Amino acid sequence: MDKHPIVDIVVFGSQGDLSKRKLIPALFQLFLKGVLSPHNRIVAITRHTIDQTILLEAFRASTIQPTTSAEHAARWPEFAQHIFPIVCDLEVAESYSALSEFLNTTQSIRIFYFSIPPNLFGTVAKLLKLKNCIHYDSRVVVEKPLGHDFKSAEITNATLAQTFPEDKTFRIDHYLGKETVQNIMALRFANTILEPLWCADRIDYIQITVAETVPVGNRAGYYERTGALRDMVQNHLLQLLCIVAMEPPARLTPYAVRDEKLKVLHSLRPILSHDVVEKTVRGQYCDLQGVGPSYRNEPGVAEDSDTETFVALKAQVDNWRWAGMPIYLRTGKCLKQRRSEIVIQFKEVPHDLFSNTRSMSANRLTILLQPEESIRLRLNGKSPGKGMNLEPLMLNLDSGNRANRKSWEAYERLLLDVIQGDLTLFMRRTDIEAAWQWIDPIIEGWQSRGHQSLPYTAGSWGPVESDQLLAQDSHIWHNPDSL
Ligand code: BG6
C-alpha cells in the first residue's frame, strides 16, 4: 500500500452541513498531520455556479475555529489550493462532462462521497458510470439513512452495487470511528485478563446508553419519518453492541472483523410483536410546565405526532457466551446529560464475607465515549483504619499520558481509512440488512400493538417506564453521579 496514496475526493452535497462541519475540517486536519499526498484534489460539487472565493470562504469559516492555532490557520490557503469547485446538476447526464474531463486528466484513486439524499444514489452512480467517471479504483462513501427498513435498504444497496462492488463501498457509521470504540477491541483482544470474564457466567448485564441533551430542532422533517429507533439504534447502538459482544476475530482484517460482528446481529433474539410491551419503551420529550422544549412544538412536527425521541429496550444475544444475559440499550434526545457509555456490570460475589458492611458493590467496568473518553473499573477495597470496612476503589484505565494525547476525530480516521482502502471500520451490505431485519419486527410490533410514545420531561432520563424495564429484572440504569 502506498504510504500516501494519491486520490481525487469528489464531494456531492459539498455545501451541506456534513461537508462544512465534518468533511472539510477532517481533511484539513489530515493535511496538517501530513498524512495526505500533496497531489490530492478535492472536488466540491455544487448544483449552481458559485464564486470560488465565496465557496472557499464558507469552508474556511466552518473549519478555522477560534480554538485553531495561528500556525494552523496560516496553512489554510495552502490546503485550499487543493479544492476545486465543479458545477453539476445531479440528474442531468451532460452536466457530468466537466467532472469527467477533470477526473480523467489523472489516474488517481477516485473517492465519491455521497453527502446527498439516498434517493439520488442510484441516479448519480449510474451517471458517473455513463460519463466515464468510474475507473479501476473508484470508491463510494455513503452514510445513513441507508434504508428505512430491510426492503428499502436492500434496494439502496442493490442500486449502489450496480456501479460499485462491495469492496469499493464504504458505509460510514461515525460511531465506529470513535477512539474509545476501537479501544474496546484493544482492551478485549490485546489482554488476557478480561476475556475469561467476558461472558454471561461472570457478567450480570450490559447497558449501552447514548444520551443527548439537544432537542430535534430544525431536523424535524427527517426525524418525523425516522424516530430514535431508526436514527440511533439500528446503526450506532447495534454497532456498539456488536463490538462488545463479538467473538475474537482470527485476524484484524475487514473480512474477519465484520464476519464476527455479523454473527452477533444474527444471534440477536427477535423482539416480536408480543414482546414489545415487555421489552421496549418509547418516549417523546414534552414540557409539562409549558416552558421548555417539547417535541410536538418543534417546527415541522405534527401536533399529534407519535414519533419516539427516546427508546429503551432489552436485547439478548442467543449464543454460548451470552445466553440468558440482558443487554439494555437506551438513547434519546433532550435527556439530562450528554453521555454515551457502555456499562459492564459484573455479578455479585458468590459468598459475602463482609456482610457487616453495606458498601460493597459488584465490580463494574464503565466505558465512557462522550463527552470525555475514559475507562474505569470499580473494585472494592478496605477503608483505612480500624475494622474491616469496605469502600469502592476506582481504577482509571485512562490515567497517565493517554489523557494528554488528543485523539483523532471520527471523520479524520474514517476518511483516512477510505483513502487507504481499509474497510474494517465500515459496514457491509449484510450488516446493514441484518440490523434492519432485527429492527423491522419491533416497529411492526409497535404498530400492531398500538405501543405509543410515552411523554417524558425534557431534561430527565426518559419516561419512568424505562426504569421499570430494568426493574423487572431487578436491575437499574447506571447513575453517572454514582461510582
Ligand atoms: C446521528 C443522528 O447519526 O448521530 C443524530 O442522526 C445524532 O440524531 C448523532 O444527534 C449523534 O452523534 P454524536 O457523535 O454527536 O453522538
Least confidently predicted of 257-261, 373-377, 403-407: 403-407
pLDDT band, residue 401 (cuts 50/70/90):
low
pLDDT surpasses 60 at 1: no
Q: Average pLDDT of 6-18?
A: 96
Structure letter (DSSP) for residue 317: B
Beta bridge partner(s), residue 114:
12
pLDDT surpasses 50 at 34: yes
pLDDT surpasses 90 at 444: yes
pLDDT surpasses 70 at 399: no
Q: Average pLDDT of 318-329?
A: 98
Q: Average pLDDT of 48-75?
A: 94
Average confidence score pLDDT of the chain: 94
Structure letter (DSSP) for residue 399: T
- Using the mean position of ligand 1's atoms as its centre, give its distance from the Cα of residue 433 in Å: 20
**Which ligand 1 atom sits nearest the alpha carbon of residue 340?**
16
pLDDT band, residue 276 (cuts 50/70/90):
very high
Q: From CA 258, how far away is CA 326, in angstroms rounded?
A: 23
- Using the mean position of ligand 1's atoms as its centre, give its distance from the Cα of residue 346 in Å: 29
- pTM: predicted TM-score of the whole model, two decimal places: 0.94
Q: From CA 458, how far away is CA 465, in angstroms rounded?
A: 15
**Which residue has the CA at smallest separation from atom 14 of ligand 1?**
175
**Which residue has the CA at smallest separation from atom 7 of ligand 1?**
232
Q: Average pLDDT of 352-360?
A: 70
Q: Which of 179, 219, 236, 372 to mutate to test the pocket of ligand 1 (most atoms within 8 A of CB)?
A: 236
**Which ligand 1 atom sits nearest the alpha carbon of residue 210?**
16
Higher pLDDT, 353 or 465: 465
Per-residue pLDDT reduced to its tens digit, 280-320: 999 999 987 777 899 999 999 999 999 999 999 999 999 99
**Which ligand 1 atom sits nearest the alpha carbon of residue 236?**
3
- The confidence score (pLDDT) of residue 356 equals 59
212 Cβ below 6 A of ligand 1: yes
- Percent of residues, the chain, with pLDDT higher than 90: 84
**Which ligand 1 atom sits nearest the alpha carbon of residue 222?**
6
Q: From CA 255, how far away is CA 258, in angstroms rounded?
A: 5
- Using the mean position of ligand 1's atoms as its centre, give its distance from the Cα of residue 193 in Å: 33
Say if residue 145 is preceded by a cis peptide, omega within 30 of 0: yes
- Using the mean position of ligand 1's atoms as its centre, give its distance from the Cα of residue 254 in Å: 24
Which of 72, 160, 176 has the alpha carbon at shortest distance from 112? 160
- Using the mean position of ligand 1's atoms as its centre, give its distance from the Cα of residue 14 in Å: 20
Choice among 236, 266, 451, 478 that is catalytic: 236
Is 236 annotated as catalytic? yes
Q: From CA 317, how far away is CA 179, in angstroms rounded?
A: 25
Q: Which of 232, 335, 342 to mutate to test the pocket of ligand 1 (most atoms within 8 A of CB)?
A: 232
- The confidence score (pLDDT) of residue 179 equals 87
- The confidence score (pLDDT) of residue 480 equals 86
Q: What angle do CA 414, 419, 425 make, to 5 degrees?
A: 35
Beta bridge partner(s), residue 343:
207, 366
- The confidence score (pLDDT) of residue 400 equals 47
pLDDT surpasses 90 at 140: yes
- The confidence score (pLDDT) of residue 471 equals 97
Per-residue pLDDT reduced to its tens digit, 204-228: 999 999 999 999 988 898 999 999 9
What is the C-alpha R_g of the chain? Answer: 24
pLDDT surpasses 90 at 180: no
pLDDT surpasses 80 at 266: yes
**Which residue has the CA at smallest separation from atom 9 of ligand 1?**
232
**Which ligand 1 atom sits nearest the alpha carbon of residue 235?**
3
- The confidence score (pLDDT) of residue 358 equals 61
Residue at grid coordinates 480516521? 413
173 Cβ below 6 A of ligand 1: no
Q: Average pLDDT of 99-104?
A: 97
Query: C-alpha dihedral over 368, 374, 377, 381, to 10 degrees?
Result: -130
231 Cβ below 6 A of ligand 1: yes
341 Cβ below 6 A of ligand 1: no
Q: From CA 310, how far away is CA 333, in angstroms rounded?
A: 6
Q: Output b/e per residue, 30-58; b: 16+ Cβ within 10 A.
A: bbbeeebbeebbbbbbbeeeeeeeebbeb
Give the cell for residue 72: 494552523
